[in-house]
Amino acid sequence: MTEAIRLLAGRYEVGELIGRGGMAEVHGGYDARLGRDVAVKILRSELARDSTFLLRFRREAKAAASLNHPSIVAVFDSGEDVMHEAGGAEMPVPFIVMEYVRGRTLREILHEDGPVEPMRATRIMAQVLQALNYSHQHGIIHRDIKPANVMLDSADRAKVMDFGIARAIADTAATMTNTSIVVGTAQYLSPEQAQGRDIDARSDLYSAGCLLYELVTGRPPFVGDSPVAIAYQHVGEPPQPPSVHNSEVPANLDVVILHALNKDPDRRYQSGDEFAADLESVLRREPTIAAAAAVDAGELAPAPLPEKVSAPVAPATTSITTRRADHDKSQRNRALPWVVGVLAALAVTLGLWLGRDHLGGDPAPVAVPYVIGQPEANANQQITDAGLMPVSQPVANAAAPGTVVEQDPREGERPPNSTIQLRVSTGPGQVVVPNLRNFQQDTAIQKLSDLGLEVQGIDQVDSYEVAQGSVVATEPKAEENVAAGSAVTLKISNGQTVVPEVVGMSEAKAQEALSKVGLRYRREDVTSTRSVGSVIAQSYQAKTRVPVGTEVVLDVVRSRPQTQTVTRTETVTPTAPAPPATPTDPDSPSPTPTSTDDPPADGGGQQ
């Protein structure tokens, strides 16, 4: 016997189980309406009983659906299924429908392949940080950045998963806070998370630093026997440089990772863009923000150095026991951070010397020239003449090729040799029109603007599937490739639908026809000579436009009219005898049918 396919929201077929976590199960799925593969995450039933969590889940699922970035797994839809408990009570079980990504998580890659080559890891994390920067700009903190929440496809394109959901819950493995509210995984908790303090976007950047540390070394920066032990180290122990565990990690990447792992949020990276820019500098072998911060602060690593470094300092007596292999090397590891720190400082000094005329104490800041709209060569010359370093990034744009269309920062003052990011037009490139169906009008316009597309017009259209004020479709259609700067027309639902003709249908077929266009119905039983069960009248004429959800009253025949039965009986009705045709004398002979000249007996005459 074939097992019935589980269908969610009337369109999502739930397929085989492809993943299981502490909070949910993930199934392969199929969107029958749009004809595409999807992933369906269904909340575990025991968590669905928590009303507080349900509220958080619904709020965060909605927020996650608003994110549209190439390095974020897209959330297409969310809703609730209904399951019945043993006692028969109904219980809502939320689900989220997501983009189906074919690839492996970074957790799977680390387990199967081991540490990632440092430059490859740097490129991967630059994508992750761009996704985080985008989400932070939209007010969403991930809170659970870890290898299991980043997927990589065959082209090394990173996709960050579970945006917003982590605010409500995370994996059951190694999770904690001081208020018993699950907000992250212990190996990747920021110090402020571990202490239960308020967090902001910089907490995600600390977690990203932990992730990059593990990618290049094969292990997180802190390990321990319990989540509490690991959290303690995040708060009070300095991490060892990644190069201690992998000698292939270059010194400038050491400095960047350790800067991201600073215990003080004010002294680590302040934005995903800033962190990503340093990773790009590592790839280009250029000076980094982290290196400059280490020199300016007199630090060789994010953890504060002791005032005198005449001899290695033993770890605090409250340090947490780590792996047995580390214990065997404990004496040597006490000295290694200082040795590596000195080597890193030498690399920093050399990098800064190559980019500056000289090293001074605190050189005076220089003004940032405004170069938007200028040819790239002229912009580079002005920035270089000001004592700053231009870094160009090509972007598709309607401006002439080679023109600077954006710079960061745009104005103000920066220390000498600071990096100025330039976006240089390559001309109108190709942009994929996003799928904006069900997005509110204002949100859709912003998403198109972010991609360099313009809204040419807004058409109000009838739709029984899309809420009033939301996008039904676009022209050009979603997923089409268009030139950057192209115009797009939005088709916005006016919340109206058209009443179909249902007179003459059976009640069941009439109900189906009305439901298909978003209308409700109410039956009025009537008596008629027409077929029982048929609709003989409807309260709105066919082709009338009405708001979605309008109730249409149907007159449905429930019985035929009663007819009176008459029983006929034979009765004798008295009748008068017919008069004779002509009075006759009984003694007279019968008239003969012959003509005569005499007048007839009744006195009539011949005419």
Cβ count within 10 A of residue 330: 13
**Distance separating alpha carbons of residues 513 and 515, to the nearest angstrom:** 6
Element (H, E) at 77: strand 75-84
Q: In what order do the strands lie in the sheet with 404-408?
A: 389-395, 419-425, 404-408
Residue 102 phi, psi dihedral angles, 5° rounding? -90, 110
The amino acid present at 64, given as its one-letter code, is A
Local structure of 88: helix, strand or coil: coil
Give me Rg for the CA atoms of the chain.
Answer: 41
Separation between Cα atoms, residue 122 and residue 115, nearest integer Å: 12
Q: Give catalytic status of residue 450 as yes or no.
A: no
Q: How far apart are the first and last CA of the chain?
A: 102
The Cα–Cα gap between 607 and 596 comes to 14
Is 146 assigned a ligand-binding role in the annotation? no
Please answer whether residues 198 and 216 qualify as being in contact, where contact means their C-beta atoms are separated by less than 8 angstroms.
no
8 A C-beta contact, residue 160 and residue 197: no
Contact (CB, 8 A) for 438 and 470: yes
Q: How far apart are CA 245 and CA 511, in angstroms?
A: 69
b/e string for 435-444 if b means 16 or more Cβ within 10 A?
A: bbbbbebeeb
% helix / strand / coil in the chain, to the nearest 5? 30, 25, 45
Rounded Cα distance, 289 and 255, in Å: 10
The neighbour count for residue 51, using CB atoms within 10 Å, is: 9
* Cβ neighbours, 10 Å, residue 232: 18
Look at residue 571 and give its three-state secondary structure: coil
| Angle, CA of 153, 154 and 156, to the nearest 5° | 65
31, 144, 171, 278: the catalytic one is 144
Q: Where are the beta strands (DSSP E) in 49-190?
A: 75-84, 90-99, 104-105, 150-152, 158-160
Q: Which residue bears the tokens 């040419």? A: 456
Cβ proximity of 404 and 422 under 8 Å = yes
Helices (H) and strands (E) in the chain, counts: 16, 24
Amino acid at 607: Q
**Residue 545 amino acid letter:** R
**Pairing state between β 551-559 and 520-527:** parallel
**Residues in the chain, overall count:** 607
Q: In this structure, which amino acid lies at residue 516?
A: K
Full 3-state SS string of 401-436: CCEEEEEECCCCEECCCCEEEEEEECCCCEEECCCC
Q: CB within 8 A of 66, min separation 6: which ones?
A: 138, 439, 443
Active site residues: 144
Binding residues: 41
Binding residues for ATP: 41
